[in-house]
A and B are shown apart, each in its own frame.
Chain A
Amino acid sequence: MTAFTHLHTHSNFSFYDGAAPVEALARAARDAGMSALALTDHDSLAGAVRFFQAALAAGVRPIIGVEFTVEPVLPEHLEDPERPPHLLLLAEDNEGYSNLCRLVTAARLGEARRESAFSAAYRDVDRDHPLLTQENLRRHCGHLIALSACRKRGEIPALLARKRFGEAYEVGEHYRDLFGSEHFFIELHNHLLPRPHNRMRHRLGDLAARLGLECVATNNVHYVDRSSYRLQDVMVCMGARQTVDEPHPDRRPNAEFALKPPHEMAELFADQPEAIANAARIAARCEWELDLESFHFPAFDMERLREHCARRAWGMGDGGWGDGDDCRCRMEGPDHCPARRSCDWITERPMGEGARKVASDGGRCANARGTERQTATTTAGAGEIRAATASAFDYPPPHAGEATRDYLRRLCAHGARRLYGHLTGEVRARLDHELAIIEGKGLCDYFLIVWDIVRFAREQRIRCTGRGSAGDSLVSYVLGITHADPLANDLLFERFLNPERRNMPDIDVDFDTRRRDEVTRYVYDTYGAEHVAAVCTVNTFRARAAIREIGHALGFSDEEIGRIASLFPHIRAADIGEAMERYPELRDAAVDIDDKRLLIELAQEISGFPRHLSVHVGGLLLGARPLTEMVPLELACKGIVISQFDKDDVEALGLVKMDLLGLRIHSAIEDALDHIETRTGVRPDIEAIPLDDEPSYELLRSTHTVGLFQLESPGQRNLLGRTQPTQFEDVIANISLFRPGPVQADMITPYVLRRHGLQPVEYAHPDLEPILASTFGVVIYQEQVLRIAHAIAGFSLGEADVLRRMMTHDITPEDLEEVQERFMLRASERGVRPDVAAEIFDMVRGFAAYGFNKAHAACFGKISYQTAWLKAHYPAEFLAGILSSQPMGFYPPRTVAEDAKRFGCAILPPCVNRSEGRCTVEYDANERGDIRVGLWMVRGLHGSAERIVAERERHGPFASLDDFCRRTCVPRPAVENLVLARAFEFTGLSVQELMWRLGALPDDVVADRRGRRCGPSLAYDDVDDLVRLLPSLDPMTAVGRVATDLHLLGVSTTRNAFSFWRERLRELGVTPSVKLWRRGDRERVRVAGIVVARARPPTRSGRTAIFISLEDELGLIDVAVFEEAYEKCGRALYTSPVLCVEGRLTRMGRLDLSVTAERVIGLGSWQDFALPPAGDSREAGLQPADHRTPGSATYRNEQVVRQTPIRGGEGRQIAMY
């Protein structure tokens, strides 16, 4: 059999060019009897690690290479400067791989110096056109084998095709001298093309002979087999943003670019057999493996910390000056401030956002005044709550020459004393146990690195909490990384870090979203930009994107494609066919789709293909050595340097990755605390609130939990109503139960029934009682699975975790039998009866796959509880924080605002003299808090909000509209939005008068769309003349007010949009949400509302269940739509934002009300509903006869439509009604 290796192979990581997944390539190579295969994607190694793994799994030796776009050797002879030549490089060994990483990085980032992830130097980087310069190539050309690349883009064949024989020789000579004749090969193709092209390989052969080089045969593989040709062709068209009817030089003329078996290749090169033999010879030279065994930890820099501690003792921060509780300027006056910078102590500004911002900006002892608050307490309806103190997170400095291991132990002991008062035997034993494992795995530096990041955040007062299985660790808790007590919550360290397994711990930390970049910047500054990069996420084609892009390439119109794509839910493209059969909303539209078979087929084929790389939400990669030695880097579209490897690749390479995530609820909590502090003068220590606060549990039981972290979804509110939580453990259980697994396994019903004593709690073995008592005999947590295996079968906790993982993942029947035998044997040794052991094993097996990580639930549960506490005691402050942090959570801002109104807080319109960027709270004489809409929420204001506030703070309030325009440079359209949103109500003029005046203001007073003022324009006196021409206009109607607010702010500052339909809905027999509790169980009801949330969780039976939250004028209504109703009304359910539902009321608990739908009718859009109904309704008396959509004649007649009086320029039609 012919020995041949494909050395030029593109996978689908050659975006919009390669049409073969790496796994398919590896399998195909094995099936064709090839012993090795190279992967050579365009300017990328993004698929390298998974190709390596796939090839090893298939028994094929992987070879890593890259096809680079290079600077031409003879640029003057380049036919098209937009299409620089290619050069293919293969790594001969590990050093060659490092060189590939360096070259990919150089090609992608150019000459930009990597000073920081945010370096301005990257602005000039052309992300879409990577180019490797000859200089960079020369610098890192060692340990590489170079091939002259493809027929069209290789510089040598391109010159030969144009009969530039001398120049082709010159280029060949250049690369021969650069790499050496043993390392540079002329690449030959035979793609069965017409004669002139096919003759090329003979010309190349002749040239190679003249240069003293050897030839090598490749097939420039772009897909596994011929059937993928059309997908590859359409992908090229997608990448070029053209249709298949248009020609493109990168489109292949036939389907010969497949992974052909060796015998076919030998046949194609029968007249050049040495080229085939050379392919195998080169492959044999590239025999090396990526190191997937060892970890590469960066060392924790103790010296740097010592220096920081020394500076801190002197009152100076980490480059910034944010930790100045003991700043000398505080103690000895500003003259002694070591930084000689402006200090809060001098300026005496009120603490709050401004001061905190100063601190984060690198300014200056802002926290110094925090000491004044250390002993303060608040009693504002929340009991004795400790005030937040700056010294709550302190730590001992390291000693000179102290080992990281010793320092970690000392830090843990210090933290434990801080949290537990003193080191009890239990705490000491647990810490010893954990630290022994951490030390054994060599993870001390890793823990210190994470601790150091958290330390920085805490010192800068950036709110942060750990999440995930790290919460199982007491070390994480005492280091301040996580905030849920693992001892009190019965959490197991082995679930986090198993001594029986070789795995990297995964510590994820959430930071206040608005300040996460400060933390990222600190990591870059600390470890050096050479050692840090963001981890990438590989974005793949899913149904909608696949349909859109392929549809455009096949020539469908934008409208048609948009309509089809929007019909599909967010599913995998591979599931399109199944979805079209299963979902009624798609089935009804199938007639439209039927003539698009080819589109659907191709969309299914492209499913899961990588589309582009983007920044992972929080993953940061830390390298012990400069990252470019192991990881290729590029620039994401956000302008951040990312690795081309995703989180799985990074883990496989043993690199340290940590997730520094942004969590908006932290921003909301911080805002709420700021508002509370402004009102009471005391900032509550939210971490120290008591966990038995009855008003908080009362709120949870009431299910009025909009805005609460993890507890606000319709399903979760339903569950809260059923479980009626009374303690923190219940919060954790609620979070764990409302997950796809437990819902699918129907763990909720037995839990609820047993909780309320409606079903007996029985234990198969007495040893199970202490483990399962807190969850009434239901296995909810993964930690419980470990404990059961430990108690019943005597497994060590590490072994038990291995058992759990085996059960969680797909397990073969043979493995399951073996595990069961081992469990039974060990159980019988401990005296457990075989039938009991079998019963327990079955129970554990049934629940292991669905159990939730309790540590994660506890970490999140603590935040959930904190939000419940805030909403129970400070609803206005809390909901203002939630509104400022949008988009977040489950509901749109208008629902949050309506919820605030139900909690007695009015929503005040924005005001240029009172609003800040974020929402604020204003209090009336009775201390009732109302929410003032922030300027961030005004549509089109973008970055102008900060400018407005800064100008107001600097030069005082705005006197008038003219004054505002002159002082701020806010673009005219944004000023119009401010006027319409009533931000100038303080002037005493109506919206119409203000709009007229704004129109009259000349362009040298009001800035244009780009924020620039221009002239010449009217003399200012003329404005008053124009204003005098204002005709008599009716004031804005109530309906108009609501519609304008919803359009410009996303919330209504006056009435609920549904209130205009009050009478009509009453006539139609619609029951308002607040009156549902008066109706009996199983009673027929008719409800209506705007859809605010829709969820389709998986069910045990596999049948459809859709949970919808409707919002009417007075509250939320939960609706469950099951298979039968969904089959009938699926389309209305997913296409109409306003629904009327007929069905039966289900009452399962005191406050658990939901409507089980029998009939769902779409009522148009909510904008339609904001207008008063007119005439008779259609569809069983429910459909408004007149769809008064903007643009209709009826609609226009009811409005004052006017042209602004300004001549030319930015004048536009303003509609007011």
Chain B
Amino acid sequence: MVAMTRSIGEPIYTEGTRERCPNAFTWRGRRYEVVDTGGAWRLMGRWWKGDGERRFVRVLTDAGRTFDLCRYETTDRWHVYRVWD
């Protein structure tokens, strides 16, 4: 079975932080609890345009869905970057 992904890029409300990853987050009105992480990575944006680094983390939620969450260095806010369906 091939996993399908969707790029989202929507800001989310997060709760607590454990190992540089939120304990839980709310996306589109639904709260997800992080039960496991599947790797973290970092990518630099266009620094010459003022973009900072983006820190990504792949999380498995209590609902069984996998998300790639992303935090922007410049705004220090978390976003849902991608959803694995």
A554 at the binding interface (Cβ < 8 Å):
yes
From A73-81, A140-148, A253-261, A330-338, give the one contacting chain B. A253-261
Contact in complex: B44, A253 (CB < 8 Å): yes
Contact in complex: B48, A253 (CB < 8 Å): no
With a CB–CB cut-off of 8 A, which chain A residues contact B62?
A: none
Contact in complex: A554, B48 (CB < 8 Å): yes
A17 at the binding interface (Cβ < 8 Å):
no
Contact in complex: B41, A194 (CB < 8 Å): yes
With a CB–CB cut-off of 8 A, which chain B residues contact A598?
A: 48
With a CB–CB cut-off of 8 A, which chain B residues contact A554?
A: 48
With a CB–CB cut-off of 8 A, which chain B residues contact A68?
A: none
A233 at the binding interface (Cβ < 8 Å):
yes
A195 at the binding interface (Cβ < 8 Å):
yes
From B39, B42, B48, A254 is in contact (CB under 8 Å) with B42
How distant is A556 from chain B, measured CB to nearest CB, in Å?
A: 11
State in angstroms the CA–CA spacing of A253 and B41 once bound together: 10
State in angstroms the CA–CA spacing of A254 and B53 once bound together: 7
Per-position 1/0 for A551-562, Cβ under 8 A of B = 000100000000
With a CB–CB cut-off of 8 A, which chain B residues contact A255?
A: 42, 44, 53
Question: Given A254-B53, A255-B53, are A198 and B47 also a contact pair (CB < 8 Å)?
Answer: no
A310 at the binding interface (Cβ < 8 Å):
no
B35 at the binding interface (Cβ < 8 Å):
no
State in angstroms the CA–CA spacing of A253 and B45 once bound together: 9
With a CB–CB cut-off of 8 A, which chain A residues contact B39?
A: 195, 198
How distant is A599 from chain B, measured CB to nearest CB, in Å?
A: 10
- Count of inter-chain pairs, beta carbons less than 8 A: 36
CB-CB contacts below 8 Å: B33-60 with A? 39-44, 46-48, 53, 56, 58
With a CB–CB cut-off of 8 A, which chain B residues contact A195?
A: 39, 41, 58
With a CB–CB cut-off of 8 A, which chain A residues contact B46?
A: 244
State in angstroms the CA–CA spacing of A254 and B40 once bound together: 13
With a CB–CB cut-off of 8 A, which chain B residues contact A193?
A: 41-42
Question: Given A194-B56, A254-B53, A255-B53, are A233 and B40 also a contact pair (CB < 8 Å)?
Answer: no
Per-position 1/0 for A215-243, Cβ under 8 A of B = 00000000000000110011000000000
Q: Is the interface of A mostly helix, strand, loop or mixed?
A: loop
Contact in complex: A229, B42 (CB < 8 Å): no
Per-position 1/0 for A187-206, Cβ under 8 A of B = 00000111100100000000
Contact in complex: B42, A256 (CB < 8 Å): yes
Contact in complex: B47, A230 (CB < 8 Å): yes
Contact in complex: A253, B43 (CB < 8 Å): yes
With a CB–CB cut-off of 8 A, which chain B residues contact A229?
A: 44, 47
Contact in complex: B44, A254 (CB < 8 Å): yes
From B42, B47, B48, B58, A192 is in contact (CB under 8 Å) with B42
Closest-by-CB residue of A relative to B68 is A194
CB-CB contacts below 8 Å: A162-218 with B? 192-195, 198
Per-position 1/0 for A602-618, Cβ under 8 A of B = 00000000000000000
The contact size tier of chain B is 10 to 19
State in angstroms the CA–CA spacing of A554 and B49 once bound together: 10
How distant is B48 from chain A, measured CB to nearest CB, in Å?
A: 5
With a CB–CB cut-off of 8 A, which chain B residues contact A254?
A: 41-44, 53
Question: Given A192-B42, A194-B41, A254-B42, are A230 and B48 also a contact pair (CB < 8 Å)?
Answer: yes
State in angstroms the CA–CA spacing of A554 and B58 once bound together: 34
Closest-by-CB residue of A relative to B45 is A254
Contact in complex: A192, B41 (CB < 8 Å): yes
How distant is A746 from chain B, measured CB to nearest CB, in Å?
A: 48
Per-position 1/0 for B47-85, Cβ under 8 A of A = 110000100101000000000000000000000000000
Closest-by-CB residue of A relative to B54 is A254
Closest-by-CB residue of B relative to A197 is B41
How distant is A64 from chain B, measured CB to nearest CB, in Å?
A: 31
CB-CB contacts below 8 Å: A942-997 with B? none
Contact in complex: B48, A244 (CB < 8 Å): yes
With a CB–CB cut-off of 8 A, which chain A residues contact B53?
A: 254-255
With a CB–CB cut-off of 8 A, which chain A residues contact B56?
A: 194
Closest-by-CB residue of A relative to B55 is A192
With a CB–CB cut-off of 8 A, which chain A residues contact B42?
A: 192-193, 254-256
State in angstroms the CA–CA spacing of A252 and B47 once bound together: 13
State in angstroms the CA–CA spacing of A28 and B48 once bound together: 27
Per-position 1/0 for A809-841, Cβ under 8 A of B = 000000000000000000000000000000000
How distant is B81 from chain A, measured CB to nearest CB, in Å?
A: 11
State in angstroms the CA–CA spacing of A965 and B22 once bound together: 84
With a CB–CB cut-off of 8 A, which chain B residues contact A192?
A: 40-42
With a CB–CB cut-off of 8 A, which chain A residues contact B58?
A: 195
How distant is A227 from chain B, measured CB to nearest CB, in Å?
A: 11
Contact in complex: A198, B41 (CB < 8 Å): yes
How distant is B18 from chain A, measured CB to nearest CB, in Å?
A: 15
Per-position 1/0 for A277-303, Cβ under 8 A of B = 000000000000000000000000000
How distant is B72 from chain A, measured CB to nearest CB, in Å?
A: 13
Per-position 1/0 for A245-277, Cβ under 8 A of B = 000000011111000000000000000000000
How distant is B73 from chain A, measured CB to nearest CB, in Å?
A: 10
With a CB–CB cut-off of 8 A, which chain B residues contact A234?
A: 48
Closest-by-CB residue of A relative to B56 is A194
How distant is B67 from chain A, measured CB to nearest CB, in Å?
A: 14
With a CB–CB cut-off of 8 A, which chain A residues contact B41?
A: 192-195, 198, 254
With a CB–CB cut-off of 8 A, which chain A residues contact B47?
A: 229-230, 233
State in angstroms the CA–CA spacing of A244 and B49 once bound together: 10
How distant is B34 from chain A, measured CB to nearest CB, in Å?
A: 18
State in angstroms the CA–CA spacing of A878 and B51 once bound together: 64
State in angstroms the CA–CA spacing of A194 and B40 once bound together: 7
State in angstroms the CA–CA spacing of A598 and B41 once bound together: 27
With a CB–CB cut-off of 8 A, which chain B residues contact A244?
A: 46, 48
State in angstroms the CA–CA spacing of A133 and B40 once bound together: 39
Per-position 1/0 for B1-39, Cβ under 8 A of A = 000000000000000000000000000000000000001
Closest-by-CB residue of B relative to A554 is B48
How distant is A74 from chain B, measured CB to nearest CB, in Å?
A: 30
How distant is B47 from chain A, measured CB to nearest CB, in Å?
A: 5
With a CB–CB cut-off of 8 A, which chain A residues contact B43?
A: 194, 253-254
State in angstroms the CA–CA spacing of A598 and B49 once bound together: 10
State in angstroms the CA–CA spacing of A175 and B47 once bound together: 40
State in angstroms the CA–CA spacing of A256 and B55 once bound together: 12
State in angstroms the CA–CA spacing of A234 and B56 once bound together: 24
State in angstroms the CA–CA spacing of A192 and B40 once bound together: 7
With a CB–CB cut-off of 8 A, which chain B residues contact A256?
A: 42
Per-position 1/0 for A340-352, Cβ under 8 A of B = 0000000000000
- Most-contacted residue by chain A among B41, B46, B48, B58 (CB, 10 A): B48
State in angstroms the CA–CA spacing of A253 and B56 once bound together: 13
With a CB–CB cut-off of 8 A, which chain A residues contact B48?
A: 230, 234, 244, 554, 598
- Most-contacted residue by chain B among A198, A234, A255, A256 (CB, 10 A): A255
Closest-by-CB residue of B relative to A229 is B44
How distant is B14 from chain A, measured CB to nearest CB, in Å?
A: 20
State in angstroms the CA–CA spacing of A326 and B48 once bound together: 74
- Most-contacted residue by chain A among B44, B46, B56 (CB, 10 A): B44
State in angstroms the CA–CA spacing of A195 and B66 once bound together: 14
Per-position 1/0 for A891-932, Cβ under 8 A of B = 000000000000000000000000000000000000000000
With a CB–CB cut-off of 8 A, which chain B residues contact A233?
A: 44, 47
State in angstroms the CA–CA spacing of A230 and B40 once bound together: 22
How distant is B23 from chain A, measured CB to nearest CB, in Å?
A: 20
State in angstroms the CA–CA spacing of A782 and B35 once bound together: 77
How distant is A614 from chain B, measured CB to nearest CB, in Å?
A: 30
State in angstroms the CA–CA spacing of A424 and B40 once bound together: 85
Closest-by-CB residue of A relative to B48 is A244
State in angstroms the CA–CA spacing of A1182 and B44 once bound together: 57
Closest-by-CB residue of B relative to A256 is B42
Show 11 residue pairs from A and B whose CB-CB distance is below 8 angstroms, ordered by the A residue: A192-B42, A193-B42, A194-B41, A194-B43, A195-B58, A198-B41, A233-B44, A233-B47, A252-B44, A254-B44, A598-B48
Q: List 7 additional A-B contacts (Cβ < 8 Å) besides A192-B42, A234-B48.
A: A194-B41, A230-B48, A244-B48, A254-B42, A255-B42, A255-B44, A256-B42
The 4 closest A-B pairs by CB, nearest first: A254-B42, A194-B41, A192-B42, A230-B47
